[in-house]
Structure 1
Amino acid sequence: MAVLEPLPGNTFAVLTGLTDDGVAYGYSSPRRTSPVSTAVRWGLDGVPVALPIPPGALGTSLHGVAGRTAFGSATDTPGLDYPVRWDLTNTTVTVLDTTGFRFTSLQAANRRGEVIGGGLDNSSIIPVLRWNRSGHRDSLAPLPGQTQAAGYAINDSGTVVGTSSGYRSGDRPVRWSADGAVTELPTAPGTTFDIPHAINERGTIAGRGSTDDDNHWTRALIWVTT
């Protein structure tokens, strides 16, 4: 076992991603409750090195790694974050476009550098936001008649899985194809809500199904697509 120390002068460190070659990524901060942190790379020697931050940013937080892509957030005002992506091959950082949206969070990335997250605008529809490697952003809408979508995973084909919900309806499991078309996934018998959390390159989806009755039971689910 190895202990990965925070940056010099810091007391708190969290590991949030690991590449296939054993390099670790995460963030470091002066203390656990600090409003500003710094994205960090730990090499095989275990030495922490700060990743680049966008111009004008006070700090960064790295949320996850997929292949040679890392994703997270930066802040220039504590409490007001915006999404960023790191290219781990060139060790560069890119600010992702959120024009027209108030950023909430990034959720996942794939090995092609595509990233998904969420944002709020002034409309009644809350979509999933998807950025491609060049930075172009598109919106993935919820099911017809519903108002809110959340994406939790994206595979290398650009297929996204997550949930769709409405004011009077619970979360429904859904899949968005690479072209943005949304499809509702079947629900498990007896469950109140099913949530997909992962998708592999064959399109197989993993998640969980739960009830909200007195039993409160939860089951692991697999969706095999054809």
Structure 2
Amino acid sequence: MSKTRSQRAVKWSTDGTVEDISPYVPTPEVGNDAGVISGWGTSGHGYRLDPNGTLADLGKTAYVISVSPGGFVVGSFYISAWATTAVRWALDGTPTTLPSLPTHNNSSAREMNAGGTVVGFTSRTEQMNYVETNAVKWSPDGTITALANLPGSKDSEAHLINSAGTIAGSAGDSAKNSHTVVWRSWNRSRALQVGVPEQRVGGSG
């Protein structure tokens, strides 16, 4: 006769102490070095849990991607079965929707650095198919900037940003091959393919 095992969400402290966080975030997904945890709870809501036990409800259909060094959660809200909109959540759980590029109807925020800059992508979809996707960054005030694509392509996503503003992600080429790329803080009009020595491999997008 088989037995059903019940699993609990837990958090391990640096000294090895285990804390059951199931009543707060039954499905933890991401966290930061300060101990902030974010994930999913009951009724399809996203949650943010502080080390002191303070819980913030991020709302229904929240899809959390990462937690910034300052504790801000970024990700997206589902607005339909196939589309999302990029979101940055304040420390109290208040959401700020981030804009998309013109003609784009889908977006997602992937990471936020200590300075408040968020990176991700926006895209145009038709009947659940991606027509084009462009890596973007959002300034702390929400202003959106498109990052360069590789020549002959309209396919890129930004995934990571460090404290200096260097952005890493992926981009397709004209043959639809995917490459790891970096956008330097001093020149967003160039997408530098990782492994290719100091040369321009991207245009103005």
Smaller-chain TM-score bracket = 0.7 to 0.9
Asked if structure 2 preserves the Cα contact closer than 8 Å seen for 1:154 and 1:160, the reply is yes
Instruction: Write the letter of the residue equivalent to 2:178.
Output: T
Q: Which runs of 5+ in 2 are unaligned?
A: 187-205
Q: 2:112 aligns with which of 132, 142, 154?
A: 154
Q: 2:31 aligns with which of 65, 68, 73?
A: 65
Report the equivalent of 2:124. Answer: 166
Report the equivalent of 1:182. Answer: 144
Report the equivalent of 1:139. Answer: 97
Asked if structure 2 preserves the Cα contact closer than 8 Å seen for 1:72 and 1:85, the reply is yes
Identity of counterpart residues, as a percentage? 26
Instruction: Write the letter of the residue equivalent to 2:64.
Output: L
Asked if structure 1 preserves the Cα contact closer than 8 Å seen for 2:119 and 2:159, the reply is yes
Report the equivalent of 2:49. Answer: 86
Instruction: Write the letter of the residue equivalent to 2:12.
Output: W
Gap change, CA 1:164 and 1:72, over 3 Å in 2: same
Asked if structure 2 preserves the Cα contact closer than 8 Å seen for 1:51 and 1:91, the reply is no
Distance in 1, matches of 2:32 and 2:174, equals 33
Report the equivalent of 1:49. Answer: 19
Deviation at 1:38, TM superposition (A): 3.4
Deviation at 1:194, TM superposition (A): 1.6
Asked if structure 2 preserves the Cα contact closer than 8 Å seen for 1:67 and 1:110, the reply is no
Secondary structure, counterpart of 1:38 in structure 2: coil
Q: Describe how 1:1-226 pairs up with structure 2 within 5 A.
A: 30=6, 38-44=8-14, 46-51=16-21, 53-54=23-24, 60-68=26-34, 69-75=36-42, 80-88=43-51, 90-96=52-58, 98=59, 102-121=60-79, 126-167=84-125, 169-211=131-173, 213=175, 217-226=177-186
Deviation at 1:85, TM superposition (A): 0.6
Tell me the matched-pair count.
178
Distance in 2, matches of 1:139 and 1:177, equals 13
CA RMSD of aligned residues (A): 2.7
